[in-house]
Chains A and B, each alone.
Chain A
Amino acid sequence: MNPRIASALLCGVVVLLGSCQREKRDIRPAPTRLAIYGDAARESTLRPGGPVQPEQIVTNPYNHSAYDISEGQRLYNWYNCSGCHANGGGGIGPPLIKKDWIYGGQPANLFDTIVKGRPNGMPSWGGRIPEYQIWQIIAYVRSLNGEQPASATAGRADTIETNSQNLVNRTSGVTK
């Protein structure tokens, strides 16, 4: 038994651990996926304001994927979701950090909400932004509620700390 063999064995074990969902970086989303999930959600029997039917769950292809959660975070600001929902705390629109959803909090419900829009201000984004981005945004929004594994979500963003449990109504010091 010498160190060479030892470390070789250990490396072998390591390889067997294989890859994991969290680190998947689907940089170039395949068009097929766009179609499939798009249709799946479109044809779901969910109706605006209608009863939530749990059996109609469509799985989010980007669930648990750290890369797509952070992409979702970027798009959340780029597409100005933050304009109404702020950083999840809500403003003009309802807060997204919560447990009780008006139109259901399952991925498929969120997908419907974003695609079809909702009364009183939520615009319909269907057909305007590609589905894979909608799923990325959903992944991010659900991460706000801790519905994504902590190991896949970032400790913070490069912004002013908005996490309410730290401090009430504080603002950052001005930096030179």
Chain B
Amino acid sequence: MTAAKTLDVAQLPPYDVSSQSPLWWGQVCLAIIEGTMFSILLACYFYVRLRMDVWPPPGDQFPHLLIPTLGLIPLLLSVPPAYYASQAAKKNDRGGMIRNLALNLLFGLIYFVLRVVEWHSLNFNWKADIQGSLVWAFLGLHTFDYVGDLGFTLVLLVLVLTGRYGEKQRLGVHVDTVVWYFLVAVWIPIYIVIYWGPRLVETPR
């Protein structure tokens, strides 16, 4: 037993609500996975579109522009609250977390309603043709993640409201925003492609 040099870490904090936490990195990995899925779907969309003379396939309406475009407003508005929520989580400011999480959730829900309305107005479904299949894949996958994260935010809000939270939950609030930024960011290209794409590269009937 030789006395060895020791490195004492007792002074270090027992937790950390920041991007230094492994959890944050794990969350980023999951975001990358989702992002890769959406990019591959986009690649597939262009692949099939290039093989078609007529797009959208005859019988499909052009997807509406109004509601999805309006929808961008609450979607983008939901980002700042997410950011402030994470700041509040770092500072362990309960009021701030409650306020911003609630706002985030509110805008999120408004957008979700618009999404559902618009989705129902499509005149083609997944069985209609390849465009139907792909558009429904985009909407389905994104909505699935979106609802999932809404639920996660809701649970966090409830925990903070009931005061049943500690570092882990604050860290949860922090990394939750990572997912939220991602979901908003990834929607923009999808929105452009599936709603504007058919118009921008319209083909003569």
Query: Measuring CB to CB, which residues of chain A are less than 8 angstroms from any residue of chain B?
Result: 156, 161, 163, 166-167, 169-176
Q: Given the complex, which residues of B lie within 8 Å of A163, measured CB to CB? A: 127
CB contacts under 8 Å to A, within B157-189, are none
Additional pairs, 5, CB under 8 Å, beyond known A170-B59, A171-B59, A173-B55:
A166-B125, A166-B132, A170-B128, A172-B58, A174-B54
Q: Given the complex, which residues of B lie within 8 Å of A173, measured CB to CB? A: 52-58, 129-130
CB-CB nearest in chain B for A173: B57
6 residue pairs A–B, Cβ–Cβ below 8 Å: A161-B128, A167-B123, A167-B124, A170-B60, A173-B55, A173-B58
Q: CB distance A171 to B125 under 8 Å? A: no
Query: Measuring CB to CB, which residues of chain B are less than 8 angstroms from any residue of chain A?
Result: 51-60, 123-125, 127-130, 132
Q: CB distance A176 to B127 under 8 Å? A: no
> A156 to B130, alpha carbons, bound, how many Å?
13
CB proximity of A35 to chain B, nearest CB, Å: 42
Q: Given the complex, which residues of B lie within 8 Å of A176, measured CB to CB? A: 51-53
CB proximity of B191 to chain A, nearest CB, Å: 23
Q: CB distance B55 to A166 under 8 Å? A: no
Contacts known (A161-B128, A173-B129); A167 close to B59, Cβ less than 8 A: yes
> A156 to B58, alpha carbons, bound, how many Å?
20
Q: Given the complex, which residues of A lie within 8 Å of B54, measured CB to CB? A: 173-174
Q: Given the complex, which residues of A lie within 8 Å of B56, measured CB to CB? A: 173
Q: Given the complex, which residues of A lie within 8 Å of B124, measured CB to CB? A: 166-167
Q: CB distance A171 to B58 under 8 Å? A: yes
CB proximity of B68 to chain A, nearest CB, Å: 21
CB-CB nearest in chain A for B125: A166
CB proximity of A151 to chain B, nearest CB, Å: 18
Q: Given the complex, which residues of B lie within 8 Å of A172, measured CB to CB? A: 57-58, 129
CB-CB nearest in chain B for A156: B127
Q: Given the complex, which residues of A lie within 8 Å of B58, measured CB to CB? A: 170-173
Q: Given the complex, which residues of A lie within 8 Å of B129, measured CB to CB? A: 161, 170, 172-173
Q: CB distance B51 to A175 under 8 Å? A: yes
Q: Given the complex, which residues of A lie within 8 Å of B132, measured CB to CB? A: 166
Which of A171, A173, A176 has the most chain B CB atoms closer than 10 A to its own CB? A173
